[in-house]
Structure 1
Amino acid sequence: MKKDGEEISTQMSILHQTRKESPCSACRGMCKTFEPHAWRKICKSCKCNQEDHSLNSDAEDDRKIGRLLADSKYSNLTARVKGGDGVRIYKRNRMIITNPIVTKKDPTFDTVTYEWAPPGLTQKLAIHYMEFIPKEMQPISGTEGAYYRRRQLMRQLPVYDQDPFQCHALSESEVKSMEELVRKYKSDSLGVGEVALPGQVGSAKDEANQKQKAEATAQFTNGKVAKGKPQDDPASTNGTLAEAQPKNEYHCELCKQAVSTESPVVYGERAGYDRLWHPACFLCTRCSEPLVDLIYFWKSGKLLCGRHYCDSEKSRCIACDELIFSEDYIESKGLTWHKKHFCCVECEQPLLGKSFELEQAKLLCTSCCKSIKKM
């Protein structure tokens, strides 16, 4: 794996580019090709969400996550794109396992490729981690699990929640508001889970951090460095080596069940190393979905995916799926819209000041609603 700062080359595609073959999984083969709506994140043909068509390539996903982690404390998980003017890409860890198949004839090999695996582990521990993930969610290349991962990347970490230039017609003040939100969550909430055996998380990193803190807090007395212990840093209560020291018994933060000291667990540095989770319990508190690639947001003592963290900070337009940075918007029955997007999902008729119906969170004019009910 390349070190932080090294350049890697990659061929990038245009985000949201329409592909010749992108059938909709939700339509069970009825919709063969994605037809992008001008501003809704749906297919014009089948009205399903774009993630149901799984449009992003690996390169697009890696670039999106690279942008998310860049300028954060997790930038070491990214690398510079060759010729990319400072653009960084996610150093996604893949795992390839080759098992010999012994027969009476010449031996053959069974190769399994995981599209993502926790970084920094021995292959044995990484495989052990995967054993705790439901089979249908294991990101094995060519399987439903790999497709599930890519769909979750789009759903949990939409690019328009981090890049104002992927949004539709934001004003200058709205762009600044979004950039401030992104800076805030990168500084205060964004995290990437670490996999280890209980009590064995990141000890080398913690020792290095403690050494740096000791050097930074050493007090000068009469022109000499004091030989006593450095002062305690109140900010070090989360993620210190003392908290990660082995103990007799561990319990999962979510299910509260005991955890074997021989089983891999997930730690979240933002949560503090006194908390840990079973691999299958590292979930978003709001949607109860596994946190894709262990990328989480920590807020008010809870794990959140990127989507639901942003929803806790700003309202989201139910029509275009983007965050609302304007103070002038429409709200009805707990749902919100940009004013310009308050229109019928079928005929696109503006509905501000007109009668409308809400059917399963879809805004309809009375005429389209009647037509649909007759079908």
Structure 2
Amino acid sequence: MAQVAKDLNPGVKKMSLGQLPPARGVACLGCQGSCPGFEPHSWRKICRSCRCGQEEHCLSSDLEDDRKIGRLLTGSTHASLTARVRGGGGVRIYKRNRMIMTNPIATGKDPTFDTITYEWAPPGVTQKLGLQYMELVPKEKQPVTGTEGALYRRRQLMRQLPVYDQDPACCRGLAEDELPAMEAFVKQYKSEALGVGEVALPGQGGLPREDGKPQQKPEAAEPAAPATNGSLGDPSKEAEYVCELCKAAAPADSPVVYAGRAGYAKQWHPACFLCARCREPLVDLIYFWKDGAPWCGRHYCESLRPRCSVR
């Protein structure tokens, strides 16, 4: 069954606002032995030896990731996906949803169980809908514990949502008079661009739900009218929906992703909810809306505040 990650323990006192551990000396996963080990650049977020990013050498921990996403969502319209850390001085942490599947295996007299844990699952959906969603994600990118898909998710958290795009304390060389400008920039994108995709069946996006409970369509609800983004067929017949990216049909019994900032006349196949710039799946469905499309955090921020050409 789906459950929320239990990382909110009293031992977490305060959040560190310093740089992430430099992972000095750790081998590069992408260079296949040619890199002697991570040697941090003095100011760029890369290895001096191979010029790969830190995410190719050493990943942050689950707790560090949940702290970062909690900080990102705090103060946004998705703050309900965070929880206050006891003893943390008001700091909030990401309530990452995990999904655990236990399947019995008949092996003679005593049954055994095969357990599959998804390190992340869409929030607020039933287990059935969550599994349908996962089946529509490429297998190599499904965040199953102990697989390449789980590592891919963690790399994307570092790549798409760099901590130095939200926390001035993690920016090297930021002048004191530049701090207010960055703080204002972060506040602005939380208000105007940041969003978290919603998984639902076609036509059910945006329906009200109680906090922490799966979305349910009201019994007396009328079928949704055909969307104006290219719905197919005769308007007098049951509405059909198409994916905003690939323009292929979205079956009525198959989950899609909605982006609230786009309006609920648009939907995406789970495998089509990609960053408009890098064309990579948006990790944990976190997006930034710009120019009529979803972007990952990295490319949204650098499109407005250009960074070093390397990182």
Q: Tell me the TM-score normalized by structure 1.
A: 0.70
Q: Which residues in structure 2 correspond to 1:155-170 (within 5 Å)?
A: 155-170=159-174
**Residue in structure 2 matched with residue 338 of structure 1 by the alignment:** none
Give the alignment partner of residue 245 of structure 2, picking from 230, 254, 273: 254
Deviation at residue 312 of structure 1 after TM alignment: 1.7
**Residue in structure 2 matched with residue 85 of structure 1 by the alignment:** 89
Q: Which residues in structure 2 correspond to 1:220-235 (within 5 Å)?
A: none
Give the conservation status (yes or no) of the 8 Å contact 1:297–1:304: yes
Q: Given the alignment of the two structures, is residue 181 of structure 1 paired with residue 172 of structure 2, yes or no?
A: no
**Structure 1 residues 302 and 99, CA, compared in 2 at 3 Å: closer, same or farther?**
same
**Residue in structure 2 matched with residue 211 of structure 1 by the alignment:** none
Q: Given the alignment of the two structures, is residue 263 of structure 1 paired with residue 267 of structure 2, yes or no?
A: no
Give the conservation status (yes or no) of the 8 Å contact 1:284–1:305: yes
**Structure 1 residues 82 and 31, CA, compared in 2 at 3 Å: closer, same or farther?**
farther
In 2, Cα distance between equivalents of 1:95 and 1:266: 18
Give the conservation status (yes or no) of the 8 Å contact 2:141–2:148: yes
Secondary structure in 2 matching 1:94? strand
**Structure 1 residues 10 and 61, CA, compared in 2 at 3 Å: closer, same or farther?**
farther
**Residue in structure 2 matched with residue 16 of structure 1 by the alignment:** 20
**Residue in structure 1 matched with residue 302 of structure 2 by the alignment:** 311
Q: Which residues in structure 2 correspond to 1:318-337 (within 5 Å)?
A: 318-319=309-310, 321=311
In 1, Cα distance between equivalents of 2:11 and 2:61: 12
**Residue in structure 1 matched with residue 218 of structure 2 by the alignment:** none
Deviation at residue 33 of structure 1 after TM alignment: 4.6
In 1, Cα distance between equivalents of 2:179 and 2:295: 24
Q: Which residues in structure 2 correspond to 1:37-48 (within 5 Å)?
A: 37-48=41-52
Deviation at residue 127 of structure 1 after TM alignment: 0.6
Which string of whole-angstrom CA distances, capped at 9 and with x for unpartnered residues, describes residues 271-307 of structure 1?
0011000000000111110000000011121111111
Deviation at residue 9 of structure 1 after TM alignment: 3.9
Q: Given the alignment of the two structures, is residue 282 of structure 1 paired with residue 286 of structure 2, yes or no?
A: no
Deviation at residue 18 of structure 1 after TM alignment: 4.2
**Residue in structure 2 matched with residue 193 of structure 1 by the alignment:** 197
Which string of whole-angstrom CA distances, capped at 9 and with x for unpartnered residues, describes residues 329-353 of structure 1?
xxxxxxxxxxxxxxxxxxxxxxxxx
Q: Given the alignment of the two structures, is residue 154 of structure 1 paired with residue 154 of structure 2, yes or no?
A: no
In 2, Cα distance between equivalents of 1:128 and 1:253: 19
Which string of whole-angstrom CA distances, capped at 9 and with x for unpartnered residues, describes residues 43-75 of structure 1?
244332111113210011111101100001100
In 1, Cα distance between equivalents of 2:9 and 2:262: 32
Secondary structure in 2 matching 1:204? coil
Give the conservation status (yes or no) of the 8 Å contact 2:24–2:40: no
Which string of whole-angstrom CA distances, capped at 9 and with x for unpartnered residues, describes residues 184-223 of structure 1?
10000000000011112242259xxxxxxxxxxxxxxxxx
Deviation at residue 171 of structure 1 after TM alignment: 1.3
Deviation at residue 85 of structure 1 after TM alignment: 1.3
Range 79-88 or range 138-147, more displaced: 79-88
**Structure 1 residues 58 and 243, CA, compared in 2 at 3 Å: closer, same or farther?**
farther
Gaps of 5+ in 2: 211-220, 227-237
Give the conservation status (yes or no) of the 8 Å contact 2:24–2:39: no
In 2, Cα distance between equivalents of 1:26 and 1:173: 38
Give the conservation status (yes or no) of the 8 Å contact 1:112–1:141: yes
**Residue in structure 1 matched with residue 282 of structure 2 by the alignment:** 291
Give the alignment partner of residue 124 of structure 2, picking from 120, 127, 131: 120
In 2, Cα distance between equivalents of 1:95 and 1:302: 29
Q: Given the alignment of the two structures, is residue 108 of structure 1 paired with residue 112 of structure 2, yes or no?
A: yes
**Residue in structure 2 matched with residue 230 of structure 1 by the alignment:** none
In 1, Cα distance between equivalents of 2:285 and 2:224: 19
Q: How many residues align?
A: 282
Give the conservation status (yes or no) of the 8 Å contact 1:93–1:117: yes
Secondary structure in 2 matching 1:16? coil
**Residue in structure 2 matched with residue 364 of structure 1 by the alignment:** none
Deviation at residue 27 of structure 1 after TM alignment: 1.7
Range 36-45 or range 186-195, more displaced: 36-45
Deviation at residue 22 of structure 1 after TM alignment: 4.2
Counterpart amino acid of 1:312? S
Q: Which structure is larger by alpha-carbon Rg, 1 or 2?
A: 1
Gaps of 5+ in 1: 207-240, 322-375
Q: Given the alignment of the two structures, is residue 62 of structure 1 paired with residue 66 of structure 2, yes or no?
A: yes
Counterpart amino acid of 1:161? D
Q: Tell me the percent identity.
A: 63
Deviation at residue 78 of structure 1 after TM alignment: 0.4
**Residue in structure 2 matched with residue 214 of structure 1 by the alignment:** none
**Structure 1 residues 76 and 10, CA, compared in 2 at 3 Å: closer, same or farther?**
farther
Give the conservation status (yes or no) of the 8 Å contact 2:36–2:49: no
Q: Give RMSD over aligned pairs.
A: 2.4
